[in-house]
Each structure stands twice: as structure tokens, then as C-alpha cells.
Amino acid sequence: MLYVVGLGLGNEKDVSVRGLEAIRRCAHVYLEHYTSVLGVDCEALEAFYGCRVTLADREFVEERVDGMLHQAREADVAFLVVGDPFGATTHTDLLLRAREEQVDYEIVHNASIINAVGCCGLQLYNFGMCVSMVFFTDTWKPDSFYDKLAVNRRNGMHTLVLLDIKVKEPNMEQLARGRKVYEPARFMTVNVALEQMMEVERTRGEALYGTDTFVVGLARVGQPSQMIKYGPISELARHEFGAPLHSLIIPAPDHTLHESERDMLRSFR
């Protein structure tokens, strides 16, 4: 049996009791380690579960999944995912493979950033599609988020902006010389995300938002040191949010907000 277990957002104790019981039954435990990270490291998980946890990076998930499914036919195997198992496309692919290979699986759900952002007071049912913000390079500045944000804002919906994470990315220069050397992990800050948003607004020029647009910056949602700040882009672009992970919300236009949304946001001013 393959258990796909969501770990939630904070530390080793955010797993559900059902999830913990499943993990402790398993012969092999893998932790998906490239679409998100917890506030604690792998050793903390191992100490709490009482078993070895193998880190599964992008390479693992793309190349060695068949081996894991093979193991799951003979024994209980846990594939741990930060947040909820369905936060990332990759995991749908894993389940499709499991179905094809007729490997039984069980999902253990947990909180995802997608529902935990409700902590800022904006109503979850009023969010439109999520957008992703990737690290811009000199030659690659994808701006498709702008059109999605436009649809959401023009229809009175909030937008969650998921910020780029680079864990175990190979250094391209070294790779060209045949050496696999990994870059240090990078997590996009609210500040960088807002800078890039303003850069795209200058190019597109549709005045979808400006430095005076109020947004919500969030850091470490679901962890004890969680931080939520509501303010204009100009202010939040300079605010120090501290350790990762960061997230960003562009609320629906102010006049469309509910009273309780407005009250709660104001308390994070």
C-alpha cells in the first residue's frame, strides 16, 4: 500500500494522527522535497516518527517513482508531502501512475497553503485561480500571472500568489562541464515578488495595480512565528518578513470586500 500523507505547514506535529499511524507502519518513508518545505528539517521528522526518511528531490520523483511503486506492491510505503498531497501537479501524476500499475494507495489530507491563507481574514470561497511567480532572469520574465490576476480582480476575486522555490537546482555552468553541482536553496520573498509585479506592470501598463494597491504579505503560515502584514505595495516591498516560506495575496478591489474581511485585514495593518 502507498500512503500519500500531507504533513501540513509547520512542524513534525502537524501531521494527523491517522497520518502518523500510517507512517509508523511503513517499511519505506520518502519526503517530497522540492515543491515546498516544512519549518523543521528531516531529522526532526525522523526523531518523531522513529524511522528513516529518504529525501525525494525532483530527480527522484521523475526517475525513481517506478521503484517506489514496486516497493509499495510488496510493503507499506509512505510518500510525505508538505501541505496537502494535491498542492502540486506532480503528485497527481504519481497517483495516475499508481492507478495504471494497480498499486493501492490511500490519501491522508492536511492543510495546504491554499486553505490556510484564510488566516488573514479573506474568505476562502472568494479566491479566484492561484498564480505563480517565478524568479525572473535577464532573459526570462514570464508575465502570464498578469492576465489571470486581471480576470480575478475584474470579477471581485482574491488572488493567492505562490512564490518560487528552488531546492537542489543544478548549476548550469558546472553541468555544461559535466559536473553536477547544486545551487544553494532559494525561496522567493514577498519583497522580490512585489518588485517583479511592479516591473511587469510597467511593461504591460494596464494599471491593474500600482504602488498604492493594498496587498497581504504572509510568512511561515501555520508556524508559531507566522507573520501577516496588510499594506500598500510600496510599504510591503520594503518590509522584512524573515525566514521562508512567504506568500502574497492580492485582494479583490476594496469596495467588493465584506465587512468582516475589511475588519480582519485592518488588524494586520
Residues engaged in binding a second copy (CB under 8 A): 6, 8-18, 20-21, 84-87, 89, 92-93, 95-96, 99, 107, 109-112, 114-116, 118-119, 121, 123-132, 151, 155, 157, 162, 222, 258, 260-261, 263-264, 267
Q: Nearest approach, Cβ of 42 to a second copy (angstroms)?
A: 17
110 vs 213 by CB, closer to a second copy: 110
Question: Does residue 85 contact residue 60 with C-beta atoms inside 8 Å?
Answer: no
Q: How far is the CB of 251 from a second copy (least distance, A)?
A: 13
Least distance from a second copy to the Cβ atom of residue 7, Å: 9
Of the two residues 81 and 197, which places its CB atom closer to a second copy in the complex? 81
Which region holds residue 155: left if phi is over 0, alpha if psi is between -120 and 50, else beta? alpha
Q: Which residues contact residue 248 at a Cβ distance below 8 angstroms, ignoring those fewer than 6 apart?
A: 133, 160, 161, 163, 190, 193, 194, 215, 216, 217, 218
Nearer to a second copy, 234 or 267 (CB): 267
Rounded to a whole number of angstroms, the minimum distance from the CB of residue 27 to a second copy is 21
Closer to a second copy by Cβ: residue 131 or 190: 131
- Tell me how far apart the terminal alpha carbons of the chain are, to the nearest angstrom: 48
Pick 72 or 122: Cβ nearer a second copy: 122
Between residues 237 and 261, which has the closer beta carbon with respect to a second copy? 261
Least distance CB 178 / a second copy (angstroms): 33
Of 165, 160, 138, the closest CA to residue 149 belongs to 160
Cα–Cα dist 84/108, whole Å: 8
- Nearest distance from C-beta of residue 241 to a second copy, angstroms: 19
Numbered residues of the known binding site for S-adenosyl-L-methionine:
9, 84, 87, 112-113, 163, 221, 246
Q: How far apart are CA 33 and CA 98, in angstroms?
A: 20
CB of residue 121 to a second copy, shortest distance in Å: 6
Give the chain's largest Cα–Cα span.
Answer: 59
Closest to a second copy by CB, 128 or 217: 128
Instruction: Give the separation between CA 129 and CA 148, rounded to whole angstroms.
Output: 7
Residue-wise DSSP of 158-187: BEEEEEPEE-SPBPHHHHHTT---BPPPEE
